[in-house]
Amino acid sequence: MSQFNQGDYYACHDTLEALWMVAEPAERQFYQGILQLAVGLYHLGNRNWQGAATLLGEGRHRLRSYCPSYGGIDVDDLLHRTESWLMALQQLGQANVAVLATASQSQDDISLAGLEAPLPALHIRQVP
């Protein structure tokens, strides 16, 4: 998950795809969900608002059944972060995708005009 946390979403996709292909059926949706989040964030970095919104939403949907945690990952926290970014995409709209793309590169929570709450940094956290 270090690739995801470092913002290397393309490499993260490749790593997760390799894991997904050999995973047991119960784990496949988990890997696919995180893979979709990574691809959504990759699209965001390329200012593809539609691709970002679609894949973040699909990834979030796949991961819901793995709450509160799975495989050492705090899925609840990941879903909270993802939902915050999805809401920001909706609230700020396609016209502000460049602002969100820049914000997504931050390692810290970030406040943006037009949003009530700061956007959480895009990290996968491990459970203690």
Q: What pLDDT is stored for residue 79 in this prediction?
A: 98
Q: Tell which residue, 44, 51, 76, 50, has the closest CA to residue 63.
A: 76
The whole model's pTM is what? 0.94
Q: What pLDDT is stored for residue 128 in this prediction?
A: 81
pLDDT in tens, 57-88: 999 999 999 999 999 999 999 999 999 999 99
User: Which residues are CB-neighbours of 5 under 8 A, at least 6 positions away?
Assistant: 122, 123, 124
Q: What pLDDT is stored for residue 1 in this prediction?
A: 82
pLDDT along the chain (128 residues), means of 10: 92 93 94 96 97 98 97 97 96 95 92 93 92
